[in-house]
Amino acid sequence: MKAVQIVKPEQLEIIEVEKPVLDEKNNVLVKMTAAGICGSDVGIYHGTNAAATYPRIIGHEMVGVVAEIGSDVTHVKVGDRVIVNQVTSCGTCYPCRKNRGNVCDHLAARGVHIDGGFREFIAVSESDCYILPDSISDQDAVMIEPTTIAIQSCSRAGLEQDDMLLLYGAGALGSSILRIARQMCDHIIVADIMDDKLEEAKAAGAKYTINTAKESFLEKVLEYTHGRGATVSIDAACVKDSLLNLLKATGNAGRVVTMGFSTAPTEVNQFLITSKELEVRGSRLQNKMFGKAIELIKAGKLDLSGSISHTYPLTKAQEAFDFIDSKDPSIRKIVLTFDF
């Protein structure tokens, strides 16, 4: 079967690999139908994702159809449309015992540490398969995985109805977080450097927007938060100065959530954290959030349609990555399909 492998940074190849065989642990065989290209996949391709190991079959936004099941499988059946959890954990280490398997001491994320979904078939555990509602297409269902990342970040932030949220970044990650955050609080400020993205954020539920390339970021945050600063800030831009900017813009007793994966040094001011007694929290991947996302879809509270801008067959993955590198403004989410 065909698969997309990053052999090493900047070297993508379409390779032939053996079709997976079911075993006691990986007892469900999924025939892939759609897989999204995430910014972290692009980072692995370019060698900027610090967590990745090579060579690697990438892809963690994985949607498919159950093709075969083991004799002990009871939750799914052949023909079910499913999305696959990208997180695998040991279940016994300290984080796992604290119900935080997304930061398991032995964490292995599909498409990053172990081979992922850019291949025709994948064998996974039954517990990692989530049945999709009929109301969502395979391609749109790819967006469930980014949504789980957003749910995780809002959970880590402890976001509540009376919070004043500052969301830094209105790209793919930021827009996913906004979809979830707007259901939890009303006072949302979105900051970015692109007017078109800010307009989309306003239409999607942001109360205020700030163009940081044209306006004073801190002055505007104080204006929109009645002079006290945000109660919660989430970094969806993950650039060099974003953490420091959010420490400045968050008020006393606030929470700052960081999601970046860069290993480059960044400035942090201890006085800002200590004097305001800020809580700085990391948010990584997601912790069993697929069920919550699917329930929101079933309840009509989450509409993931309209996010896919382009599709490419798996065999043209290089063209897809080259197009992403072009920074074409029409790009939203690109999905690889398996109908070649």
Q: Where are the beta strands (DSSP E) in the chain?
A: 2-8, 11-16, 28-37, 56-57, 61-69, 81-84, 87-88, 108-109, 121-124, 129-131, 164-168, 187-192, 208-211, 230-235, 250-258, 279-282, 308-313, 333-337
Q: Tell me how far apart the alpha carbons of residues 127 and 129 are, in angstroms, rounded to a whole number.
A: 6
pLDDT band for position 81 (cuts 50, 70, 90):
very high
Q: Into which CATH architecture does domain 2-143+304-337 fall?
A: Alpha-Beta Complex (3.90)
Residue 340 reports pLDDT greater than 80: no
What ranges do the domains of the chain cover?
Answer: 2-143+304-337, 148-282
The answer to whether 215 and 235 have CB atoms below 8 angstroms apart is no
Stated length of the chain: 340
Share of the chain above pLDDT 70, in %: 100
pLDDT digits (tens, 9 = 90+) for 246-260: 999 999 999 999 998
- Tokens at 193, concatenated: 């450097």
pLDDT digits (tens, 9 = 90+) for 105-157: 999 999 999 999 999 999 999 999 999 999 999 999 999 999 999 999 999 99
Which fold, 148-282? Answer: Rossmann fold (3.40.50)
Residue in this structure with the two tokens 């850019």, named with its chain if needed: 118
The pTM of the full predicted model, rounded to 2 decimals, is 0.93
The answer to whether 154 and 184 have CB atoms below 8 angstroms apart is yes
CA dist 337 → 18, 140, 179 (Å):
19, 12, 25
pLDDT band for position 192 (cuts 50, 70, 90):
very high
Q: Identify the pLDDT of residue 48.
A: 87
Residue 304 reports pLDDT greater than 80: yes
Residue 263 reports pLDDT greater than 90: no
